[in-house]
């Protein structure tokens, strides 16, 4: 098992401590944690086998040479790192996801260390099929990186956020190739040097080094306003809607121009996904 922080759980950051209490992790026996970790590894191994069968099928059908294959995930799994489990946090083990791409023009066996986001996939696919991506997208095509043209990449940061109703779980983070800046509505900000401290064990928020681009990272997060302005905008949008959903499932809620609200995850739990 990963080692627990030396001050676990009393010395944890307020956000982390809330996760420990909210998920009742102090009552999660180590034997069960080992079983959960083994099950997680087994799932990864199973998915790896499935991907192998898919690739073999494409090859046998003669489609592999003109097919793009993208493997990714929606979030990571803490799996005991920092004494935490599941997701809902800003650490790399949760916020970082796998992204493997193969296909025509993609350098085989290459590894890109540039921070990218899943919103980059849509303009990337537009690039591949020769379609013009809509203007003002949050994402930027990955084609230059996949083809080895790193100088053509404009974005150099990636963001992640959780803006649910509970202030104790909310956070916003942004990272570049070296630095990660994390903000909370009810706790001090955190700063990590991922180059020197890839395990994110040393919080530099109390004394940021002069070389850290704190102003730039904070500015990127504040483009959409503060936690308070975002919450207010969300409430105003709900108030303008005649039919509001009776319950929500967090950030997977999309409001259409005509006022309808789509629950992105509703199809996973019920037959009704248009409210």
Query: Which CATH number belongs to the domain containing residue 163 in this structure?
Result: 3.30.1120.10
CA distances from 14 to 5, 185, 188 (A): 14, 11, 9
The more confidently predicted of residues 177 and 233 is: 177
* pLDDT, average across residues 9-22: 94
Number of domains comprising the chain: 2
Q: Residue 192: name the closest of 265, 89, 70 by CA.
A: 89
Could you tell me what percent of the chain has a pLDDT over 70? 86
Q: Which range, 60-74, 230-244, 248-262, is most confident?
A: 60-74
Residue 171 resides in a domain: yes
176, 115 contact by CB (below 8 A):
yes
Provide the pLDDT for residue 237: 66
- Mean pLDDT to the nearest integer, 151-166: 85
Quick: pLDDT tens for 191-237: 999 999 999 999 999 999 999 999 999 999 888 788 888 777 777 76
Average pLDDT, the chain: 86
pTM score, whole prediction: 0.83
153: left (phi over 0), alpha (psi -120 to 50) or beta: beta
Tokens (6 digits) for 52 = 């192998």
Distance CA 275, CA 260 (A): 7
Residues 166, 222, single domain; the answer is yes
Task: Report whether pLDDT(174) > 60.
Answer: yes
Report if residue 62 sits inside a domain. Answer: no
- Let me know whether 220 and 270 are in one domain: no
93 lies in some domain: no
* pLDDT digit string, tens, across residues 104-117: 888 888 888 889 99
Q: Reduce the DSSP state of residue 265 to 3 states and report it.
A: coil
pLDDT of residue 70: 95
| Residue 30 placed within a domain | no
Whole-number pLDDT of residue 254:
63
If asked whether residues 170 and 225 sit together in one domain, one would say yes
**Is the same domain home to 250 and 227?**
no
- Residue 112 inside a domain? The answer is no
More reliable by pLDDT, 147 or 270: 147
Residue 182: predicted pLDDT: 97
My answer on whether 200 and 225 are in the same domain is yes
Q: Is residue 195 part of a domain?
A: yes
pLDDT at 263: 63
Sheet of 190-193: strands edge to edge?
158-162, 171-175, 179-183, 190-193
pLDDT digits (tens, 9 = 90+) for 89-103: 999 999 999 999 999
Convert 108-137 to b/e letters by CB count within 10 Å (16 or more is b).
eeeeeeebbbeebbebbbbbbeeeeeeeee
Same-domain status, 222 and 252: no
Span 244-250, mean pLDDT?
48
Q: Does any domain span residue 134?
A: no
Range(s) of the domain holding residue 275: 241-275
Contact (Cβ atoms closer than 8 angstroms) between residue 132 and residue 126: yes
Residue 120 Cα distances to 91, 168, 249, angstroms = 21, 29, 24
Q: What is the pLDDT of residue 271?
A: 47
User: Between 78 and 137, where is the model more confident?
Assistant: 78
Nearest C-alpha neighbor of 190 from the set 83, 92, 119: 92
Q: Answer yes or no: is 210 within a domain.
A: yes
């Amino acid at each position: 098992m990963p080692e627990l922080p030396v001050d676990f759980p009393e010395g944890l950051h307020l956000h982390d401590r809330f996760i420990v209490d909210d998920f009742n992790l102090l009552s999660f026996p180590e034997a069960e944690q080992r079983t959960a970790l083994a099950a997680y590894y087994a799932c990864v191994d199973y998915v790896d086998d499935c991907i192998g069968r898919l690739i073999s099928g494409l090859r046998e059908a003669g489609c592999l040479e003109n097919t793009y294959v993208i493997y990714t995930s929606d979030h990571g799994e803490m799996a005991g790192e920092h004494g935490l489990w599941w997701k809902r946090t800003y650490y790399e083990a949760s916020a970082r996801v796998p992204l493997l791409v193969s296909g025509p023009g993609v350098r085989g066996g290459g590894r890109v260390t540039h921070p990218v986001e899943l919103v980059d996939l849509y303009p990337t696919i537009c690039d591949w099929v020769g379609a013009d991506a809509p203007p003002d997208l949050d994402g930027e095509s990955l084609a230059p990186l996949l083809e080895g043209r790193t100088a053509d990449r404009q974005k150099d940061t990636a963001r992640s956020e959780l803006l649910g109703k509970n202030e104790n779980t909310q956070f916003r983070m942004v990272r570049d190739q070296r630095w990660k800046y994390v903000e909370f509505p009810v706790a001090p900000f955190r700063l990590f040097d991922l180059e020197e401290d890839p395990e994110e064990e040393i919080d530099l928020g109390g004394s940021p080094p002069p070389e850290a681009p704190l102003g730039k990272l904070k500015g990127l997060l504040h483009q959409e306003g503060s936690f308070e302005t975002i919450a207010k905008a969300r409430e105003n949008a709900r108030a303008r809607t005649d039919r509001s959903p009776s319950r929500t499932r967090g950030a997977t809620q999309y409001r259409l121009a005509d006022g309808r609200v789509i629950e992105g995850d509703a199809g996973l739990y019920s037959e009704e996904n248009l409210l």
